[in-house]
């Protein structure tokens, strides 16, 4: 698997596929550069929301928290692999439009799922380790826990905000509507995440004040 990724086209495509192609812009943002921001933001959100003291609180399943952190960081790295397999970025305006955004996201997800199983097939002759690695890869693209998705989606919108804000600061008025739209999507996603995390882990161990400071 390592050879397939290192010698293959996947990460090269991540370096080449640009986001915001429908906008006049001063800077380019590739899947690679965007994904790095998402990983960093995800790590910081995990630290802010859970904190180191979580391991000392009564009634806390520390192993469950560690698994959740690991799943979030893994998914943050792979959250845009659907676009790598699709070989195109699809703007948030299209993916989240009120008319058929849900259907469009479903079609892209189905395509990415089919491609993942085709390009990383688990074969009988594979070693147990290779089978596990391929299944891990497929899972990160096709079958992620809903709360993990919600967590990384919040980080995703914050990473988008960084790029948009930079364009606006440079005088690009083309992005002013995008800023308001992405902030609206972030606010909704953040509220859904808080609800999901509170249900999953309980309110007492979580600290969401990081969001109020944004």
Between the CA atoms of 178, 182, 184 and 187, what dihedral angle is there, to the nearest 10 degrees? -160
| pTM for the full predicted model | 0.92
| β-bridge partners, 19 | 29
Q: What's the maximum distance between 2 C-alpha atoms anywhere in the chain?
A: 57
Q: Which residues contact 128 (CB under 8 A, 6 or more apart)?
A: none
Q: What is the pLDDT of residue 56?
A: 56
Q: What is the pLDDT of residue 63?
A: 84
Q: Residue ranges per domain, the chain? A: 2-203
* Tokens, residue 151: 């967590």
Determine the Cα–Cα distance for residues 65 and 68; give it in Å rounded to an integer.
Answer: 5
Question: Worst-scoring range by mean pLDDT, 58-62, 93-97, 126-130?
Answer: 58-62
Determine the Cα–Cα distance for residues 97 and 106; give it in Å rounded to an integer.
Answer: 13
Q: Is the pLDDT of residue 164 over 90?
A: yes
Residues of the chain with pLDDT > 70, as a percent, come to: 96
- Element of type H or E holding 19: strand 18-19
Q: What is the pLDDT of residue 3?
A: 94
Model confidence over 10-42: pLDDT tens digits?
999 999 999 998 889 999 999 999 999 999 999
| β-bridge partners, 29 | 19
Cα Rg for the chain, rounded, in angstroms? 18
| Residue, of 205 and 195, whose pLDDT is higher | 195
- Is 1.10.3210.10 the CATH number for 2-203? yes
Q: What is the pLDDT of residue 93?
A: 84
Q: Which residues contact 84 (CB under 8 A, 6 or more apart)?
A: 10, 13, 14, 17, 31
Model confidence over 172-198: pLDDT tens digits?
999 999 999 999 999 999 999 999 999
pLDDT band at 58 (very low <50, low <70, confident <90, very high): low
| β-bridge partners, 30 | 18
Q: Measuring CA to CA, which residue among 27, 44, 17, 36 is closest to residue 163?
A: 27
């Amino acid at each position: 698997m390592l050879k397939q990724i290192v010698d293959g086209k996947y990460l090269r495509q991540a370096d080449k596929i640009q986001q915001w192609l429908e906008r006049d812009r001063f800077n380019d943002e590739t899947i690679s550069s965007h994904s790095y921001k998402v990983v960093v933001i995800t790590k910081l959100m995990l630290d802010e929301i859970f904190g180191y003291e979580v391991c000392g609180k009564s009634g806390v399943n520390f192993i469950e928290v560690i698994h959740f952190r690991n799943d979030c960081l893994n998914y943050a790295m792979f959250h845009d692999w659907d676009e790598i397999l699709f070989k195109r970025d699809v703007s948030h305006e299209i993916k989240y439009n009120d008319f058929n955004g849900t259907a469009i996201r479903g079609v892209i997800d189905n395509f990415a799922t089919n491609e993942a199983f085709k390009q990383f097939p688990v074969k009988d002759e594979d070693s147990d380790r290779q089978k596990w690695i391929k299944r891990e890869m497929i899972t990160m693209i096709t079958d992620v826990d809903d709360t993990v998705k919600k967590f990384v989606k919040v980080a995703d919108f914050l990473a988008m905000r960084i790029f948009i804000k930079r364009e606006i600061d440079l005088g690009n008025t083309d992005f002013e509507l995008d800023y308001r739209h992405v902030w609206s999507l972030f606010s909704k996603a953040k509220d859904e995440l808080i609800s999901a995390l509170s249900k999953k882990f309980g309110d007492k161990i979580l600290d969401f004040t990081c969001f109020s400071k944004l």
